[in-house]
């Protein structure tokens, strides 16, 4: 039995700092829980001289990746972020028969299957609880507690930055640019927010969740993705009048033998719990045939919540090392086809700016009829008297995406239509 488990930390930023602090401040508790002491042997950083919240012995720090991982190392904890050099360092660690703990959604979404099979080949494991939902336990429940189910859907709010922006737009009537600027001032959005607002971050996380839920590999390129920058404050107002919140929803749903996987702004009925998940919170709702509906909600980011998830994996890996025995890294066993978005059937919200004169509706109704898209309701909203235009909000009955898109093209070309303000999917 190992008396000491040697740990290398790659990265000492927001999460790495939290993990280094926990390893130091909770050393006694952790060694009791594991049955061996956890020794932090080396920490890889980019800037050796940077002022840091957590004070470590400077001799632990290195900016040389090869030096960081050399010697007697049991667990490599990767907290650098981004695809490179993280991916290469993780591969290298697994190849050398070391356990890996990572919070890296991009690496796991893009290279998960390869890294998991490498871990299995080497008799170790790669653990990634912190890669989705920060402090919310979700990877482990999918791998273990829900594994006896056939899962029919995963619906999730898994990007805190966009959820904060949407909450401010909804509650305070802010436009997108102002809400984004405030999120940046508060440190909730990065200087370059593209990864969050265009839905890439949520798509990486959905790829990870859907792969586990459906026992198959879903890559980020399988996911249809639309961001939130096209939303206007009035969309939230109108949606609310119709009984909906607007969320950047990540959805993976089984339909027969295929899967829909998509991330886009979505109208969610206000009475659903997901519609009430506001601010930087995250939530993941899973529907299993045995478990029924379960909802996980909590802090999707932040140093301490993410440390909680990383350290749980470190403790698991350390226990496996101390107790010996072969771990059982996750395996993808099923082949599931991805359903094209064009085949999605759902209800739609369409906001139009039209010329304010009698008879306008007839041409629009004809365009919907031509594509067999049935209108559930039409509401005339604000009128701009100076411009002589009016705004219409149309809700459809369930319709096929490709028919709705074809309708939108025809409607846009009508002389009485000034513009299509927005076209959003509803997820009842
Ligand atoms: N922040 C969160 O709330 C959160 C939540 C869930 C998951 N995550 C994930 O956790 C990981 C870490 O995020 P973070 O917020 O802690 O990032 P961060 O604050 O930017 O820290 C990154 C750390 O990695 C070091 N680093 C980056 N590139 C390096 C390189 N090429 N060579 C050597 N050192 C390098 C940096 O060194 P210097 O300090 O010297 O610059 C820094 O210590 C990411 O995968 C992220 O997606 C973060």
Condensed to tens digits (0 to 9), the pLDDT of residues 292-345 reads: 999 999 999 999 999 999 999 999 999 999 998 778 778 888 889 999 999 999
Residue nearest to atom 32 of ligand 1 (CA): 46
Q: Is 223 left (phi over 0), alpha (psi -120 to 50) or beta?
A: beta
Beta carbon of 301 within 6 Å of any ligand 1 atom: yes
- Residue 9 is predicted with a pLDDT of 98
- Residue 330 is predicted with a pLDDT of 81
- Residue 383 is predicted with a pLDDT of 80
Residue nearest to atom 28 of ligand 1 (CA): 80
Beta carbon of 18 within 6 Å of any ligand 1 atom: no
From the alpha carbon of 302, which atom of ligand 1 is closest?
Answer: 3
pTM over 0.95: yes
Tell how far the Cα of 65 is from the centroid of ligand 1, in angstroms. 14
Beta carbon of 79 within 6 Å of any ligand 1 atom: yes
Give yes or no on whether 4-135+303-323 and 139-299 have one common fold.
Answer: no
Beta carbon of 21 within 6 Å of any ligand 1 atom: no
SS3 376: strand
Tell how far the Cα of 14 is from the centroid of ligand 1, in angstroms. 7
Residue nearest to atom 21 of ligand 1 (CA): 13
From the alpha carbon of 133, which atom of ligand 1 is closest?
Answer: 6
Mean predicted lDDT score pLDDT of the chain: 96
311 CB-near residues (< 8 Å, 6+ apart): 19, 22, 23, 30
Beta carbon of 77 within 6 Å of any ligand 1 atom: no
- Asked if 262 and 288 count as a contact pair (C-beta separation under 8 A), the reply is no
* Residue 47: C-alpha distances to residues 51, 64, 70, 83, 187 (Å): 9, 11, 20, 19, 21
Beta carbon of 43 within 6 Å of any ligand 1 atom: no
Beta carbon of 44 within 6 Å of any ligand 1 atom: yes
- Asked if 223 and 206 count as a contact pair (C-beta separation under 8 A), the reply is yes
Return the closest-CA partner of residue 43 out of 29, 30, 28, 54: 54
Return the closest-CA partner of residue 4 out of 87, 83, 74, 69: 74
From the alpha carbon of 104, which atom of ligand 1 is closest?
Answer: 45
Residue nearest to atom 10 of ligand 1 (CA): 103
Residues in the chain with pLDDT values less than 70: 1-2
Beta carbon of 33 within 6 Å of any ligand 1 atom: no
- Asked if 37 and 4 count as a contact pair (C-beta separation under 8 A), the reply is yes
Beta carbon of 124 within 6 Å of any ligand 1 atom: no
Question: Going by DSSP bridges, is the β-strand pair 345-346/399-400 parallel, antiparallel, or unpaired?
Answer: antiparallel
Residues in a beta bridge with 348: 425
Q: Confirm whether 205 is a catalytic residue.
A: yes
The CA-based diameter of the chain, rounded to the nearest angstrom, is: 84
Q: Which tokens sit at 26?
A: 């909770």
In CATH terms, the fold of domain 344-426 is Alpha-Beta Plaits (3.30.70)
Q: How far apart are CA 369 and CA 372, in angstroms?
A: 5
User: 46, 108, 192, 312: which to mutate for ligand 1, most atoms within 8 A of CB?
Assistant: 46
In CATH terms, the fold of domain 4-135+303-323 is Rossmann fold (3.40.50)
- Residue 359 is predicted with a pLDDT of 87
User: 8, 9, 11, 284: which to mutate for ligand 1, most atoms within 8 A of CB?
Assistant: 11
Tell how far the Cα of 89 is from the centroid of ligand 1, in angstroms. 14
Return the closest-CA partner of residue 355 out of 391, 393, 395: 391
Beta carbon of 107 within 6 Å of any ligand 1 atom: no
Domain 139-299: give its CATH architecture. Answer: 2-Layer Sandwich (3.30)
* Residue 283: C-alpha distances to residues 138, 160, 228, 261, 415 (Å): 10, 10, 18, 17, 43
Question: 401-416: per-residue pLDDT in tens?
Answer: 999 999 999 999 999 9
CA 53 to chain centroid:
28
Q: How far apart are CA 72 and CA 121, in angstroms?
A: 20
Pick the catalytic residue: 205, 247, 276, 339? 205
Q: How far apart are CA 223 and CA 226, in angstroms?
A: 10
* Residue 166: C-alpha distances to residues 109, 172, 210, 250 (Å): 25, 10, 24, 15
Ranges of each domain in the chain? 4-135+303-323, 139-299, 344-426
Tell how far the Cα of 227 is from the centroid of ligand 1, in angstroms. 24
- Residue 1 is predicted with a pLDDT of 55
Residue ranges of E strands in 108-157? 126-127, 151-157
């Amino acid at each position: 039995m190992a008396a000491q488990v040697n740990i290398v930390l790659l990265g000492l930023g927001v999460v790495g700092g939290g993990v280094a602090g926990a390893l130091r401040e909770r050393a006694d508790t952790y060694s009791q829980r594991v049955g061996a002491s956890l020794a932090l042997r080396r920490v890889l950083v980019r800037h050796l001289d940077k002022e840091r919240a957590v004070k470590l012995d400077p001799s632990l720090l290195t900016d040389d990746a090869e030096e960081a991982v050399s010697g007697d190392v049991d667990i490599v904890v990767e907290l650098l972020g981004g695809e490179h050099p993280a991916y290469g360092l993780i591969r290298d660690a697994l190849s050398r028969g070391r356990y890996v703990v990572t919070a890296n959604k991009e690496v796991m979404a893009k290279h998960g299957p390869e890294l998991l099979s490498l871990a299995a080949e080497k008799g170790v494991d790669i653990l990634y609880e912190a890669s989705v939902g920060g402090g919310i336990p979700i990877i482990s429940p999918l791998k273990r507690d829900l594994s006896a189910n056939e899962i029919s859907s995963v619906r999730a709010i898994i990007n805190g930055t966009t959820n904060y922006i949407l909450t401010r737009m909804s509650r305070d009537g802010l436009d997108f640019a102002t809400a984004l600027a405030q999120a940046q001032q508060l440190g909730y959005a990065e200087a370059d927010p593209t990864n969050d607002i265009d839905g890439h971050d949520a798509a990486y996380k959905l790829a990870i969740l859907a792969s586990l839920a459906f026992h198959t590999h879903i890559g980020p390129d399988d996911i249809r993705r639309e961001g939130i920058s096209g939303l206007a404050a009035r969309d939230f107002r109108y949606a609310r009048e119709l009984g909906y919140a607007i969320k950047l929803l990540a959805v993976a749903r089984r339909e027969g033998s295929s899967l829909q996987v998509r991330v886009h702004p979505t109208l969610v009925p206000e009475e659903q719990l997901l519609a009430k998940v506001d601010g930087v919170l995250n939530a993941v709702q899973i529907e299993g045939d045995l478990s029924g509906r379960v909802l996980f909600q909590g802090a999707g980011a932040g140093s301490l919540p993410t440390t909680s998830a990383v350290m749980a994996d470190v403790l698991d890996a350390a226990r496996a090392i101390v107790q010996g025995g072969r771990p059982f890294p996750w395996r993808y066993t099923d082949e599931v086809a991805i359903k094209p978005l064009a085949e999605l059937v759902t209800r739609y919200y369409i906001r139009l700016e039209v010329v304010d004169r009698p008879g306008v509706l007839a041409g629009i109704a004809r365009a919907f009829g031509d594509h067999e898209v049935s209108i559930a309701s039409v509401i005339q909203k604000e009128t701009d008297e100076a411009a002589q235009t009016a705004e219409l909000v149309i809700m459809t009955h369930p319709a096929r995406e490709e028919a709705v898109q074809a309708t939108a093209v025809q409607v846009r070309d009508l002389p009485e239509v000034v513009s299509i303000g927005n076209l959003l999917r509803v997820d009842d």
